[in-house]
Amino acid sequence: MIRRAAICCLVVLSTLALCRTTVADVTLVWLKDGRMLAGEIDLRTNDERFWLRSTGTAFVLATSVAWDNVEVANVEGKQVHRAVLKERADELKSKAIEASSVIAPASASESLMHLPRPIITRNAASRVQAIDVEARVSNWDRDAVDDGIEVRLHTRNIYGTAVPVSGQLIVEFVGRKRLPLHDAKAFPQLGRWSLRVDADDFGPHGAVYQLPYRHSGRATNLTLNTHGLVTAKLFVFGHGRFEAETPIYVQRFNPVRDDLTRRRTARDR
């Protein structure tokens, strides 16, 4: 029963949180439905499902997807397709074993004794009460095209003071096409990211994360309205689930660039 409970999508109690000695390589995976997952290759990866996990100081979050839903991945800084990733699964799991020192408990009762206990505090100043999020399109390489969105996350206690925390963050970017509201394609999902948040990420002005577009040329899509919506969901162990949203310019204002893009598009037809 303990092992079956650990296979849930959100695993918050695990002996891995106590036994980790080094940090394994983080793998980015893009799915066919447009989502992006990030984490370490989990030992439960098999021929049917691909597992990733994210580990914090007091929790382990794990998720799995069917291999058919995997499109491409970034492993050790190199892009690989599903077939190569599946072929290297055993090798990557071996590296995950080397990156952690895991001692298997002799019994279920012994494993319960070693599970980390949630830290409960009565001090309201140390607990998250709400989150705020800011977002903008951003460019972080040498060309002029926007590479993705930059998100700034603020976590605040009941007094409005910043509280550094660790958890899991899910960010969704939705656009608005020039279509009737009832049209199923009126609100396309332009991006969805899942990433780990560490307390060390936070400074005086929050934590900043760069979230890359899955495909290039996203910002030059002239069928979209000027504004979009970014929604952030933060899961913090011992604190709860928090949500925030903010408007975002789909691309930086530049009417000359837009006219040039329209002319090039018309010329290429």
Written as one string, the DSSP assignment of 23-77 is -PPPEEEEETTSEEEEEEEPTT--SSEEEEEEE-SS-EEEEEEEGGGEEEEEETT
Please list the alpha-helical segments (H only) found in the chain: 2-6, 16-19, 82-87, 89-98, 108-114, 255-268
Give me the pLDDT at residue 243, please. Answer: 95
Q: Name 189's bridge partners.
A: 174
Identify whether 264 is part of a domain: yes
Same domain, 108 and 187: no
Same domain, 159 and 230: yes
Identify whether 66 is part of a domain: yes
Same domain, 137 and 262: yes
Q: How many CA atoms lie within 13 A of 61 on its CB side?
A: 19
Do 203 and 191 meet the contact criterion of CB atoms below 8 Å apart?
no
Tell me, rounded to whole angstroms, the distance of Cα 149 from its chain centroid: 13
Task: Give me the domain span that covers residue 22.
Answer: 2-114
Same domain, 236 and 152: yes
* CA dihedral (113, 116, 118, 121) positive or negative: positive
**Residue 242: which CATH number?**
2.60.40.1940
Same domain, 216 and 178: yes
Give me the pLDDT at residue 171, please. Answer: 95
80, 4, 5: which is closest to 41 by C-alpha?
Answer: 80
Give me the pLDDT at residue 158, please. Answer: 86
Query: What is the DSSP-derived secondary structure letter of residue 118?
Result: P
Give me the pLDDT at residue 212, please. Answer: 92
**Cα separation of the two ends of the chain:** 61
Domain count, the chain: 2
Identify whether 151 is part of a domain: yes
Identify whether 221 is part of a domain: yes
Q: How many CA atoms lie within 13 A of 117 on its CB side?
A: 4
Same domain, 56 and 154: no
Give me the pLDDT at residue 123, please. Answer: 58
Same domain, 73 and 25: yes
Identify whether 119 is part of a domain: no
Select from 62, 94, 114 the last residue of a domain.
114
Same domain, 43 and 161: no
pTM over 0.75: no
Select from 52, 87, 114 the last residue of a domain.
114
Compute the distance between CA of residue 253 and CA of residue 139 in angstroms, rounded to an integer: 14
Could you list the pLDDT tens digit for every one of the 269 residues in the chain? 444 433 443 333 333 333 333 344 567 788 887 677 777 888 888 888 888 877 655 556 778 889 988 888 887 767 888 888 888 888 877 665 555 544 344 444 434 344 444 444 445 677 899 999 999 998 888 887 888 899 999 999 888 889 899 999 999 999 888 888 888 888 988 899 999 999 999 998 899 999 998 865 454 566 788 889 999 999 988 788 999 999 998 877 666 766 776 677 677 66
Select from 61, 91, 114 the last residue of a domain.
114
Do 46 and 65 meet the contact criterion of CB atoms below 8 Å apart?
no
Same domain, 141 and 104: no
Same domain, 130 and 259: yes
Give me the pLDDT at residue 77, please. Answer: 65
The three-class DSSP label of residue 93 is helix
By the 10 Å C-beta count (0-12 exposed, 13-18 middle, 19+ buried), 136 is classed as middle
Q: Name 27's bridge partners.
A: 39
Identify whether 136 is part of a domain: yes
Same domain, 103 and 169: no
Compute the distance between CA of residue 47 and CA of residue 49 in angstroms, rounded to an integer: 6
Same domain, 145 and 253: yes
Identify whether 39 is part of a domain: yes
